[in-house]
Amino acid sequence: MNAPQTPHALHFMPSEGFRARAKDVVENPFLRQSFRGAMDFLMSKRAAQFPDPEELESLRRLGERIRQYNLAKLPELLEKLEANLTRNGINVHWAETPEEANAIILGICQKHSAKLMVKGKSMVSEEIELNHAAEAAGIGALESDMGEYIVQLAHEKPSHIIMPAIHKTKEQIAKLFHENVPGVEYTDNVDALIQIGRQVLREKFEIADIGLSGVNFAVAETGTLCLVENEGNGRMCTTAPPVHIAITGIEKIVEKLEHVPPLLSLLTRSATGQNISTYFNMISSPRKPGEKDGPGEVHLVLLDNGRSQAYADEQLRKTLQCIRCGACMNHCPVYTRIGGHAYGTTYPGPIGKIISPHMLGLEATATMATASSLCGACGEVCPVKIPIPELLIRLREESFTAPHANPAMRGQGAGYSARISAVWRAWGAIYGSPALYRAASWLASRFRWLTPRKQAGWTSVRTPLQPAPKRLRDLIKERKP
Amino acid sequence: MHSRSAYPTDVYFFATCVVDQFFPGAGMDAITLLERQGIRVHFPEEQTCCGQPAYTSGFPDEARKVAALQLTLFPNDWPVVVPSGSCAGMMKHHYPTLFAADPARKAAAEHLSARVYELTQFLVEVLNFKPEDCGGDCTVVLHTSCSARREMGVHITGKKLLGDLAKVTVAQQDHESECCGFGGTFSVKQPEISAAMVEDKVKSLKATGAERVVSADCGCLMNILGHAAWKDQQAGLSKPSLPGEHIATFLLRRTAKESAQ
């Protein structure tokens, strides 16, 4: 066992820095323009996939029902999955925390005296910061998805769950390659850049000891791991190296094979506007006697990391319906303005706001839920109908109301402020009483000249708010005889 | 449940706190517009606010307290017309959830919820109002609030009313369905992001060349017009570069000849 050297939460920036990071991006016209352009492109690709609103609605309802059906049976399905994977010769491991998951993966690596791990795209491996842990244990971890590879060269984190390097221009990538890949001349020809990346990675696939991947759907009744990808690197990671380790969250499970096609279709159409991804892998066992390829050993690590907390609450459980398509971020006016890094969490955007509090606790994430105008664009496009705005309101309540016994969430009340609560109590007292409201609104309009000219937050880019000289109720009274 | 086939004789008007205190003219115009259709408009004086600010900020107890008061104000089985998609959405869709644990109030909330209409929705769907245009040529741009669009599903009705005006051209802005960045307390809790959103919104509204923006939500108008005016101040302009008003005010003015009849 070789646990990571630094405590897990240290790598994730606390939510206090959120506003400053958001401000940096918002004030950078170049980044603003580039995110806007990228999100516009993704939105139009998705829209072209769903020309018929009624068909879209019925597909979303189907997606929602499949996810809810499977979540309702989750404990039973997890046992079934373990039994069927084991029967198929795949080793199943359970990890409650990121530390445990890293220890399991690095333990397998060390058993094989591994020097190099090639990685297919896996957000769960980002969630546990596997690359840091591997590095600390002296094991090389190389990202093989082109976007992830770029982000790794730049020592950054993905800024989008589907398009990790969406924040980078081709010029920046050209510079990165030129500076980091030996013998590469500067070129910003995109095809040439992809070829360079492919050549580097091709060599590594041949010598890697371990291939790591995520999982999009784990099918309980057949013991099958499904992996969706576009570059073929996922297939390389799961077939070329002698050992394949897959890692996924416990919620990614479906009971039957027939649950996969509708979800797969919703996933690729919502995520990248593709009818189907270029590759779809179904992994059901290690190499069998007589087979010419495939890893000799396959492992699955099932990670909890706060998911069972979300699971325990009927409303919060809906968070786990997510199939990680990223459509919510593509359509989010906040994500479009600030990009993924500002969030400071593995999962950015609307889904990040509702899932991160379960992983990191509300202490670290209390302010995230406030970064939404509740416009509802995320909930409108979610292929499995997660009511994201409703969940954001719930998280605000969990964060800002006074700490109480038996909270549904770790860190409940972390954003509690006696002063703010008192303000809302006073607000409730005034607006809950016709007489007090009449008096207060009369005073506000009578003494409107006393309204402060500087109003925190509001007047930085707007003229001050000022009550009208007469209220509607006054105008109505004046009109009547 | 209010029947759509019967032409109502009486309606309740729930003004919203924003209209009562900041846009009273819009409220008055909405009332006049309804009265011109031969409807008696009742304004329960004890009304305050729908409770949404507390609800969306994570203070459901305070929201319940305020919402409970509004539940008692509409005893007759008349439609409740609200000149805001956002507040109408709160009453129609969130009141029943808010009182889920209180059977008596839940029943009252459901009874109310079924009768709540956003103003343009009421004009089109219930009254089948077809405004007769008495004004000159004019180009406007319509901003529909996110609640009107996604919660109430009434983005069509505002558009239809403007489309019915013979001499009014409705301009099409880019990113039409995107939020203006108001979001109640969002605009003060995350001022930088909200500012970026309203900045982009005002730019795309202005880019249409429309002479004014109209909206059925005063929250959005407060944000959009507040930013446009601030920009004008910065640029030293004395005349507003993007004037705007509530759709009720615009409709009333365009149909002004009717009042003389």
CATH 1.20.1050 assigned to domain B4-126? The reply is: yes
Distance CA A356, CA A362 (A): 9
Q: Span B217-245, mean pLDDT? A: 97
User: From B27, which residue of chain A is nearest by alpha-carbon distance?
Assistant: A472
Give B170's DSSP letter: E
**Are the C-beta atoms of residues A368 and A18 closer than 8 Å to each other?**
yes
Q: Span A285-292, mean pLDDT? A: 94
Q: What angle do CA B1, B92, A53 make, to 5 degrees?
A: 95
- DSSP three-state, residue B132: coil
Question: Is this prediction's ipTM beyond 0.85?
Answer: yes
The nearest CA of chain A is from the CA of B98 a distance in Å of 12
Residue pLDDT, tens place only, A140-181: 999 999 999 999 999 999 999 999 999 999 999 999 999 999
A342: pLDDT strictly greater than 90: yes
| C-alpha to C-alpha distances, A75 to A80, A250, A409, nearest whole angstrom | 9, 9, 20
Q: Span A8-14, mean pLDDT? A: 50
Chain-centre distance for alpha carbon B134: 23
Which residues, listed in sequence order, are joined to residue A427 by a DSSP beta bridge?
A: none
Q: Span A343-362, mean pLDDT? A: 96
| C-alpha to C-alpha distances, A191 to A172, A187, A194, A195, B136, nearest whole angstrom | 15, 10, 5, 6, 56
Distance CA B60, CA B57 (A): 8
Residue pLDDT, tens place only, A203-222: 999 999 999 999 999 999 99
Percent of chain A with pLDDT over 90: 94
- DSSP three-state, residue A230: coil
pLDDT for position A9: 38
A464: pLDDT strictly greater than 90: yes
User: What are the sequence ranges of the domains in chain B?
Assistant: 4-126, 138-255
Residue whose C-alpha is closest to residue A276's, from A260, A287, A291, A265: A265
Structure tokens at A311: 């699971």
**Are the C-beta atoms of residues A118 and A314 closer than 8 Å to each other?**
no
Q: Span A79-93, mean pLDDT? A: 98
Distance CA B226, CA B19 (A): 15
Q: Span A277-293, mean pLDDT? A: 95
Percent of chain A with pLDDT over 70: 96
Q: Give me the residue from A333, A374, A462 closest to B223, CB to CB.
A: A462
Give A404's DSSP letter: -
Task: Find chain A residues with C-beta within 8 A of B189's C-beta.
Answer: 370-371, 457
Amino acid occupying residue A342: A
Distance CA A139, CA A151 (A): 19
Residue pLDDT, tens place only, B56-113: 999 999 999 999 999 999 999 999 999 999 999 999 999 999 999 999 999 999 999 9
Name the A residues in 412-441 with CB < 8 Å from any B CB.
421, 424-425, 427-428, 430-434, 437, 441
pTM above 0.80, yes or no: yes
Q: Give me the residue from B47, B60, B227 closest to A462, CB to CB.
A: B227
Q: Span B185-203, mean pLDDT? A: 96
Do B230 and A461 count as a contact with CB atoms less than 8 A apart? Answer: yes
**Are the C-beta atoms of residues A320 and A77 closer than 8 Å to each other?**
no
A32 touches chain B (CB under 8 A): yes
Do B69 and A434 count as a contact with CB atoms less than 8 A apart? Answer: yes
Distance CA B50, CA B68 (A): 9
Distance CA A302, CA B66 (A): 46
A113: pLDDT strictly greater than 60: yes
B54 touches chain A (CB under 8 A): yes
Q: Is A88 exposed, middle or buried, given 0-12, 13-18 or 19+ CB atoms closer than 10 A?
A: middle
Using 50, 70 and 90 to split pLDDT, how confident is the model at A6? Answer: very low
Mean pLDDT of chain B: 95
Q: Give me the residue from B178, B193, B233 closest to A26, CB to CB.
A: B193
Phi, psi of B101 (to 5 degrees): -95, 10
Which residues, listed in sequence order, are joined to residue B143 by a DSSP beta bridge?
A: B215
The nearest CA of chain B is from the CA of A374 a distance in Å of 6
Q: B75-105 burial, b if ≥16 CB within 10 A, otherwise e?
A: eeebbbbbbbbbbbbbbbebbbebbeeeeeb
Task: Find chain A residues with C-beta within 8 A of B238's C-beta.
Answer: none
Residue whose C-alpha is closest to residue A19's, from B186, B200, B190, B195: B190
Alpha helices by DSSP H, A73-189: 74-87, 98-111, 123-127, 130-136, 146-153, 170-180
Amino acid occupying residue B251: L
pLDDT for position B146: 97
Distance CA B55, CA B94 (A): 9
Distance CA A349, CA A358 (A): 15
Between 3.40.50.11810, 2.60.40.650, 3.10.129.10, 3.20.20.190, what CATH number should domain B138-255 receive? 3.40.50.11810
Residue whose C-alpha is closest to residue A326's, from A478, A476, A161: A161
Percent of chain B with pLDDT over 70: 96
Do B150 and A437 count as a contact with CB atoms less than 8 A apart? Answer: no
A481: pLDDT strictly greater than 90: no
**Are the C-beta atoms of residues A119 and A212 closer than 8 Å to each other?**
yes
Distance CA B28, CA B31 (A): 5
Distance CA B81, CA B92 (A): 11
pLDDT for position A393: 97
Do B197 and A333 count as a contact with CB atoms less than 8 A apart? Answer: yes
**Are the C-beta atoms of residues A319 and A311 closer than 8 Å to each other?**
no
Task: Find chain A residues with C-beta within 8 A of B46's C-beta.
Answer: 434
Which residue segments constitute the domains of chain A, with CATH numbers given?
Answer: 15-22+48-308 (3.40.50.10420), 418-479 (no CATH)
A458: pLDDT strictly greater than 50: yes
pLDDT for position A176: 96
Do B192 and A23 count as a contact with CB atoms less than 8 A apart? Answer: yes
Q: What angle do CA A388, A158, A27 make, to 5 degrees?
A: 80
Q: Span A226-231, mean pLDDT? A: 97
Give B148's DSSP letter: I
**Are the C-beta atoms of residues A336 and B199 closer than 8 Å to each other?**
no
Q: Span B192-209, mean pLDDT? A: 98
B4-126 matches B138-255 in fold:
no
Structure tokens at B38: 């031969």
B153 touches chain A (CB under 8 A): no
Structure tokens at A252: 């990614």
pLDDT for position A11: 55
Residue pLDDT, tens place only, B123-147: 999 999 999 999 999 999 999 999 9
User: From B147, which residue of chain A is nearest by alpha-carbon distance?
Assistant: A375
Phi, psi of A143 (to 5 degrees): -75, 135
A467 touches chain B (CB under 8 A): yes
**Are the C-beta atoms of residues A17 and A241 closer than 8 Å to each other?**
no
**10 Å Cβ neighbour count for B235?**
8
